Structure 1
Amino acid sequence: MKSRLVEKGPARTLVLGTLANSLGNGVFVTCSALYFTRIAGFTPAQLGLGLSIAGIAGLFAGVPFGHLADRRGPRGTAAALLVLAGLATAAYLLTDAYPLFIVFAFLYALFDRGAYAARQALIPAVLDGANLVRVRAKIRVVTNVGVSAGAALGGLALLWDTGTAYRLTFLLNALSFVACGLVFLRLPAVPPAPRRPPGEPRLAVLRDTPYALLAVLNMVMQLHIPILEVILPLWIALHTGAPHALTAVLLLLNTLACVGLQVPVTKRIDELRSAVRAFRVAGVALLGCCAAFALSSGRGPWAATVILVVAAALHVYGEMVQSAGSWVIGYELAPPTRQGQYQGLFNTGIAAVQMFGPVSLTLLLIDWGTPGWLTLGAVFLAGGLAMAPAVRWAERRRAGSAQAAPAPVTAT
């Protein structure tokens, strides 16, 4: 990688804080399900229900906590919510009662997603436009590195396989949230947004239809997330003759590609025109990915392996360019003084895909097979092509709002 991963100043602080938090998240994701079922004593059905209820909190946390970041300043809001998420993680260890588990899971999802929204408002507040997308790409790289390293540490806890080992992973995740919050407090102070003009709604983003459309299209394109995490192992086992171990190989290749190529790919996507083009490219690449998956159905070990490697390569390229394009569009078309609530809405798609994507794609792809893959590919292509007129609509709305808006009222 030509550019240094860790820079100086605010960029370095953002990257290091994210690395600490993603390391803890990787440990937690690896071990949490076994802790809750084997140590806390919940059934898989209870665990799934509790996490689904918590997912509702994550789904609706972004906009109000993003608004709070606008009003109170994103640095302090992000730090406070990260510490609260860490406390919620530690609270898991204090109970084996199912109702309390649901409460703590709800609070964890609420603070975690709220902190994510505040963090997205903090990034443009401490970086200039030339650095924003590049640093956002580096944040994604260190997220992959941290989660992978955390998963390796979690693997050691799985080998140890004791209550003490699992509890240590929870404490490590809790400390990672607190460490991230403390690191972010080293960033420059960011003043609160000016008081909203008379007549402007408190949550203006909820009435910004063009921006909401951008968020929906971005969510549609993020349906690529469950493909490798959930669908790939099921598809290999049930529809192809490829070895089951290929799942681990392709997941590793995806991580390595993101770590090595995300920053170079992002260098070419730095303004709205190139971001729109990135969505078109992502739509075509993800269509090709889906077509390759469909073609692998019923193939023998060697043919299926080759085709699935091609599918994974198209997937990771589409994933990288879509991510880079979304950062530009999400930031550029949001009002500078309302980044918190706007980023909260724009990134709600991640929570929605994580909540509904596995079930819907399992029904579409695993149960329906080849027609399902071709349908999903058409959806990706349509989403990628639709981003251009949606961006033009949002630009016209933003230009009109700028002309009609009165002077902002300074907060006292």
Structure 2
Amino acid sequence: MRPIPPAGPQRTLVVAQLISAVGDGAYYTCSALYFTHVVGMSATRLGVGLAMAWAVGSLAGVPLGHLADRRGPRGTAVLLAFATAAAVATFLVVRSFGPFLVAVCLYATAQSGLTAARQALIGGLVAPSERTEVLARLQSTLNAGLALGAALGGVALSVGTRAAFLAVFAVDALGFLACALILLRLPEVAPAAGRAEGGPRLAVLSDRRYAVVALVNTVLLLRMPLLSLVIPLWIAARSSDLGWLGSALFVLNTGVVMAFQVRAARSVSGLPSASRAVRDAGVLLLASCAVFALSAADLPLWGMGALLVVGATLQVAGEMKQSAGSWQIAFDLAPAHQTGQYQGFFGTGVAVARTLGPLLLTTLLLDWGAPGWLLLGGLFLAAGCAMGPAVRWAERDRARLAPEAAGAPVVPSPV
């Protein structure tokens, strides 16, 4: 399998993803220290602002996805990429909490909408049998871009001046500006056919079965804050000599996803195989949590370090399985004429995990220790095993969600 897709829409999507991810990687590395150490914002205010922003972003995903369905996903994606660039550019002049809150809410809203519009683009430009592979490529590209951006952010951190931090924000803004221009090279995708007569405008909000599937997936997404937040704190609480290992485990995760996400997605080709992949992810995440729990024992440094590496390896294996399965499920259960709003709704799980995950997991794992890890692992296993029944239940009534009008599924316009 080629590491880079052949020329065409898939390659264009990959390039746009890479460029925007490099800027975001630098931003994520530097933003917290900039707003606390340079702007002078308290860590509490920063945390509250980010939580509020992602809460707003999670609410915006569905209507912006609906906009992509009605007005066309390419134009919507381009508009939201420009909006993201503008939001990041405002960080250059933010000097207090009020403007920061407005800017970060705009950033989270545009990012959530851009993700939904991009998914709708994939639904229109990529054959159903190839979507999971394309999403795996995009995930691999995302990790590569974040790694490159983190390296740029590291340079800014080592310099430590206001100008260095502002240069990072400028790079991120220019990255999304370039992303918007690159997306303009994609073929136009026709807007979806109108909704069924008398049907709700935002049908996904009344689709309880799809909501249950999205909720199960959100539980599994609680893995997201583990590597970036909880595990470094877990290590620091046990040994200052292993403080470097948190960064090393993050690099391990990034490298494995870059190298193996596409391969991990090969076995997923429909709802049954996707449900099995998510179930396997639950098993792997339970095993990962059990190994992390063992690291709480009184062990020599090399023993604790070895357990942490094993736990992180099991975690990234579960992450790749869960990602591949959830992508297939999210697309296959969404009506073809409402891909944007359904993807926007499914994507709210990421915002919820980012908002609630840090508080929940730091309390559960850092305060409870090994029992907390085992409880979290049991939750992952239960969610993984619940996905299959939830998907089968949601699959029963897909026919009723098809438009009554003679509208065809979204297809790309001729180039």
Fold shared, TM-score > 0.5 on shorter chain? yes
- Report if the CA contact (8 A) 2:120-2:340 is conserved: yes
Pair 1:148-2:147 in alignment: yes
What is the number of equivalent residue pairs in this alignment? 408
| Distance in 1 (alpha carbons) for counterparts of 2:21 and 2:164 | 19
Which AA in structure 2 matches 1:383?
Answer: A
| Distance in 1 (alpha carbons) for counterparts of 2:150 and 2:304 | 28
What residue number does 1:55 align with? Answer: 54
What residue number does 1:170 align with? Answer: 169
Q: Secondary structure at the match of 1:93?
A: coil
Alignment of 1:46-195 (within 5 A): 46-195=45-194
Which AA in structure 1 matches 2:405?
Answer: A
Which AA in structure 1 matches 2:217?
Answer: N
Q: Secondary structure at the match of 1:407?
A: coil
What residue number does 2:383 align with? Answer: 383
Output the TM-score relative to the length of structure 1: 0.95
What residue number does 2:259 align with? Answer: 260
Structure 1 segments (4+ residues) deviating >3 Å? 239-242, 399-402
Query: Which is further off, 250-259 or 239-248?
Result: 239-248
- Report if the CA contact (8 A) 2:122-2:131 is conserved: yes
| Distance in 1 (alpha carbons) for counterparts of 2:2 and 2:185 | 24
What residue number does 1:335 align with? Answer: 335
Which AA in structure 2 matches 1:283?
Answer: G
| Distance in 2 (alpha carbons) for counterparts of 1:80 and 1:42 | 31
| Distance in 2 (alpha carbons) for counterparts of 1:409 and 1:388 | 30
What RMSD over aligned residues (CA atoms) do the two structures have, in Å? 1.7
| Distance in 2 (alpha carbons) for counterparts of 1:322 and 1:398 | 23
Alignment of 1:213-232 (within 5 A): 213-232=212-231
CA shift for structure 1 position 406: 2.3
What residue number does 2:6 align with? Answer: 7
Alignment of 1:280-319 (within 5 A): 280-298=279-297, 299-319=299-319
Which AA in structure 1 matches 2:165?
Answer: Y
Query: Which is further off, 146-155 or 228-237?
Result: 228-237
- Report if the CA contact (8 A) 2:124-2:189 is conserved: yes
What residue number does 1:369 align with? Answer: 369
Where does the alignment leave 5 or more consecutive residues of structure 2 unmatched?
409-415
CA shift for structure 1 position 357: 0.2
| Distance in 1 (alpha carbons) for counterparts of 2:401 and 2:119 | 23
Q: Percent identity?
A: 48
Where does the alignment leave 5 or more consecutive residues of structure 1 unmatched?
none
Which AA in structure 2 matches 1:407?
Answer: A
- Report if the CA contact (8 A) 2:335-2:401 is conserved: no
- Report if the CA contact (8 A) 2:84-2:110 is conserved: yes
What residue number does 2:411 align with? Answer: none
| Distance in 2 (alpha carbons) for counterparts of 1:38 and 1:239 | 27
Query: Which is further off, 107-116 or 66-75?
Result: 107-116
Query: Which is further off, 121-130 or 237-246?
Result: 237-246
Which AA in structure 2 matches 1:387?
Answer: M
What residue number does 2:270 align with? Answer: 271
Q: Deviations over 1:324-359 (max 9, x none)?
A: 001100001100110000000111000100111011
Which AA in structure 2 matches 1:83?
Answer: F
| Distance in 2 (alpha carbons) for counterparts of 1:315 and 1:192 | 39
Q: Deviations over 1:5-52 (max 9, x none)?
A: 333210000000000000000111111122222332322222222222
What residue number does 2:322 align with? Answer: 322
